[in-house]
Structure 1
Amino acid sequence: MKLKLAILGISILSFTVGCEKKMDRIFEESPTERLNISIANVYSTLQANKDGWLVKYYPSKAMEFGGYTLFTKFTNSTDVVVEGDMTTLAAQTSTYAVIPGAGPILSFDTYNRIFHFFALPQYFNKEKEYQLPGFISDKAGIGASNEGMKGENDFLVTKVSSDSVVLEARRSYNKVVLLPIKSSEAGTILNAYRAAVAKFHPMGGYKFEVGTESINATFATAATKRALLIAGTSAPFAYRYTPTGLDFYTEYDIKGVKFKELKYVEPGGSYTKGYFTNEAGTVKLVPTT
């Protein structure tokens, strides 16, 4: 009996070892090698578009400060040039790196006056030397004294291709999307976005119109005017200004009507300040002041 059990054990062991020898490797490279390949791909993709990238950036997890359009050029493997729709400040150059982590991490690793304004605590962003021309010039600054606008420096790269690069902020988990700027629009796109801010930002109040209902909206942060609150909701509707109107962080719902983008319609009839509407025309965001 013992002999039979011993023979059976040897047979099972031999079968297991034989199967292991026949198993193919799923990846040809080691995990470290695969990560290094991913990092190299991020570097090459960011630098490949010589006209740069449009960046949809929302600094705070709570969305109270809304969204901003940044324009970046990764000119080589160390330098990045940044401009923004919210300021007339000239392009600012700093450095970046793509480093290993849970995946490739895009790190803006030296101070850039435009990009890092969002990460400055209010203790600093209230000071004149840190403020951006045309944006938050109040001596009181913006945000909590130790947080400011809650921006970040490091972002996990979750997708990289020639048509888009998608990042995830390390603390807030906010989605940051980079879109390639076309050569045909490279010379005009920044001014087009700044013109949109100049046109839409002065509007001082809004109401939503859905069917026969009118719903007043207030700014989550009056200084930035890029996120709206309505009665009965705690999460703001956060958006960026665009040349055609408002582009929201995600799809929002009001009274059962969903929308992600609202395009501006010039003044006419009773809408003396114009209005923003979705493609179906089922919701309107109407300036009141």
Structure 2
Amino acid sequence: MKKLLYIFTLISSFLLAGCTSETENLFGESASNRVEEAMVNAQKILVEAPNGWLMKYYPSSQQSFGGYNVLMSFTAEGEVTVSADIADPGAKSTSLYRLKEQAGPTLTVDTYNEIFHFFSDPASGVGATGLGMEGDYEFTIQSATPEQVVLKGKKTGNTITMTPMPENETWEAYLTDIKEAEQKVNYVLFSYAADGEKYDVTKSYRTLAISHEVDGENVTEVFSYIQTKEGMEFYSPITLGGMEVSKLVYDSASGTWKSEDGKAVLSGETTPPALLFANGGPWFVTYDGMSSYGQSYVTSGLEKMSSNISGNNSLD
């Protein structure tokens, strides 16, 4: 009996040692190594894009301001250069970025970037005072390939995708096209028609608030979109009238935006005077209430006006 116990104990010790070694290989040594390898791989992918990346960036956890085109180029030395459609098409700003382990591989733009940090600046002039657009500057890397990098905002939880910019297109030309495409969306009110049903739509920033009836009650759903050269691409599809629509493409012939099959149509409506003069008026714009982007245009215009007026060099 003693011999049997001895043999059983000996065998158990060997089995336990084998399991411990295997466990260490699976969960110990490789756990930290996997994150390190993921960061090295991600940086290699980010740096090797010849013309940088197009980031489809959504600030605010509710995507309250819609999405924005952010162009980014990374160097192996830790620098990132940024352009975006919230600034002049030719504007660029360079700062530092870092890849670090923080509950997984994380990309962070951790020194001030005049363009990129506009989205997280609490005093940007857009959004609530002291909050701004509540955007991210730290992102958990969900996946990274030369074709696409998928990020998740650490603060907002928003999914952010990055795809390589075409090598034959300059950043300034791309952002100029975006600006021209957005000028076509110069309406406050729209109507949306899908499968014979028509809905009232109000635009704010890059969001569409669509009113419709559910069980006899009027409901408003807000759909966030990013401006593309072709039209609008939604963060989450519009699901109305028995249809799911992920993007609307501008049709120059009709001046409307249509789904790919043409069955859903978004039309701009002339803003009625009653809306403009509601609440007693009058309507006015203040310089302090503008974003830095808007202020730059006002300042530029004032400088040009000032230079054309003899003896007047003041912007006061």
TM-score, L = length of structure 2: 0.75
Matched, 1:158 2:138: no
Aligned counterpart in structure 2 of residue 173 of structure 1, from 157, 168, 185: 157
Residue 302 of structure 2 is matched in structure 1 by: none
* 1:263 counterpart letter in structure 2: V
Aligned match of 2:292: none
- String of CA shifts for 1:29-87, please: whole Å, max 9, x gaps: 53222222111111111110121101100101112211111111113331111111232
d(CA) in 2 for partners of 1:18 and 1:241?
59
Shift of 1:248: 0.7
Alignment of 1:25-40 (within 5 A): 25-26=25-26, 30-40=30-40
Residue 228 of structure 1 pairs with residue 208 of structure 2: yes
Partner of residue 192, structure 1: 177
Residues 247-270 of structure 1: per-residue CA shift (max 9 Å, x gap): 1112231122101111111143xx
Asked which structure has the greater CA Rg, the reply is 2
Which residue does the alignment assign to 1:79? 79
Q: Confirm whether residue 148 of structure 1 aligns to residue 132 of structure 2.
A: yes
Match of 2:225 among 239, 254, 258: 239
Tell me, yes or no, if the aligned pair for 2:197 and 2:241 is still in contact at 8 Å: no
> Which amino acid in the other structure matches residue 88 of structure 2?
T
CA distance in 2, matches of 1:16, 1:171: 46
Q: CA deviation at 1:194?
A: 2.3
Which position in structure 2 is the counterpart of 1:218? 202
Distance in 2 separating the partners of 1:267 and 1:230: 24
Q: Distance in 1 between matches of 2:97 and 2:21?
A: 45
CA, structure 1 residues 23+67, in 2 after alignment: closer, same or farther (shift >3 Å)?
Answer: closer
Which stretches in structure 2 are left out of the alignment for 5+ residues?
Answer: 212-217, 271-316
Deviations 1:164-213 (A, max 9, x none): 1110000211001111012122363232222222332x223211111322
Which of residues 252, 255, 264 in structure 2 aligns to 1:283? 264
1:22 Cα deviation (Å)? 8.6
Q: Contact conserved, 1:43 with 1:77, CA < 8 A, in 2?
A: no
SS in 2 for 1:30: helix
TM (norm. structure 1) is 0.82
The CA deviation string for residues 210-258 of structure 1, in whole angstroms up to 9 with x for no partner, is: 1322100113xx3x2x101122555411001111110111223112210
Going by fraction, where is helix more abundant, 1 or 2? Answer: 2
- CA shift in 2, pair 1:65/1:39, >3 Å: same
Determine what percentage of the aligned residue pairs are the same residue. Answer: 31
Amino acid at match of 1:118: F
Question: What is the distance in 1 between the residues matched to 2:265 and 2:131?
Answer: 34
Structure 1 position 151, deviation (Å): 0.4
* RMSD value, Cα: 2.5
Amino acid at match of 2:71: F
Say whether 1:16 aligns with 2:15: yes
Unaligned runs of 5+ in 1: 126-140, 269-273
Distance 1:19 1:86, change over 3 A: closer
Find the residue that maps to 1:118 and give its secondary structure.
helix
Residue identity opposite 2:41 in structure 1: N
Question: Which structure's relative contact order is higher, taking Cα pairs within 8 Å and 6+ residues apart?
Answer: 1
**CA–CA distance in 1 between the matches of 2:226 and 2:20?**
56
Residue 43 (1) aligns with residue 27 (2): no
Q: Report the 3-state secondary structure (helix = DSSP H, G, I; strand = E; otherwise coil) of the residue aligned with 2:184.
A: helix
Amino acid at match of 2:251: V
Letter in 1 for 2:19: E
2:232–2:247 CA contact under 8 A, matched in 1 = yes
